[in-house]
Structure 1
């Protein structure tokens, strides 16, 4: 039988309290990154295919994080944890590569220059997301 875990009442859902704001921000980024990638891919894909595909990937990561945070529970927490981790790695790697090898990124992605085009929110967001998930882990 699975071990019973107790969840603190105030921490019952990842999407409650401040988590609602986090959920809203992830939702906005899911929509904006996905829409941006769709427009870029359908209108001028040949100009910067790597950048546009990375924007589409970022959109999928933001969608998964939004779903995980909204869903809550063990599976939602796991989805959000994996998504935020991928997001953090992505923004750090793509942010660094877009500075070191600017030729490979003739057009920006969501994560280019550590999200400078979005006010560096893409750099801060995974740290906040991971902190929120960690803060709301089940207490045994």
Structure 2
């Protein structure tokens, strides 16, 4: 790349390393979850919002968190890592809190969110994913 300083040339391969191995799989999974959670929320909100507004809004929040994590991981660099770190942290807190509440107070969740019952509807991937994402971010920092 023209106009690249030696420091950029050295640091760029480190950021680009996300594009191989586990980093590539992580980015793919976050991208799939960004798409699926957002699409799910859009359908739920537009077709039967009155049935479970809290659950459907939480699915939309989950979709936004997955989008932000995907963008942060794909972007790389200090700002991208910060965005991914914040997103994965929010995701972890969300899946633990919503997962617990959906079990303890099932009346408040008449329909599932992405994070209900710790992501059981998605094979518990929403529970495991933020741990892997945070591990990856800290490993790459």
Normalised to the residue count of structure 1, the TM-score between the two structures is 0.90
**Structure 1 unaligned blocks of 5 or more:** none
Bigger proportion of residues as helix: 2
1:60 aligns with 2:64: yes
The 1:66/1:8 distance shift into structure 2, 3 A limit, reads closer
Shift of 1:12: 3.1
In structure 2, the partner of 1:12 is 15
1:41 aligns with 2:35: no
Alignment equivalent of 2:110, drawn from 106, 110, 118: 106
Alignment equivalent of 1:24, drawn from 21, 28, 33: 28
Q: Distance in 1 between matches of 2:26 and 2:95?
A: 18
- For the Cα contact (< 8 Å) 1:58–1:110, is it kept in 2? yes
CA RMSD of aligned residues (A): 1.7
After TM superposition, what 4+ stretches of structure 1 lie above 6 angstroms from structure 2?
A: none
In structure 1, the partner of 2:55 is 51
Shift of 1:121: 0.1
1:74 aligns with 2:74: no
Normalised to the residue count of structure 2, the TM-score between the two structures is 0.89
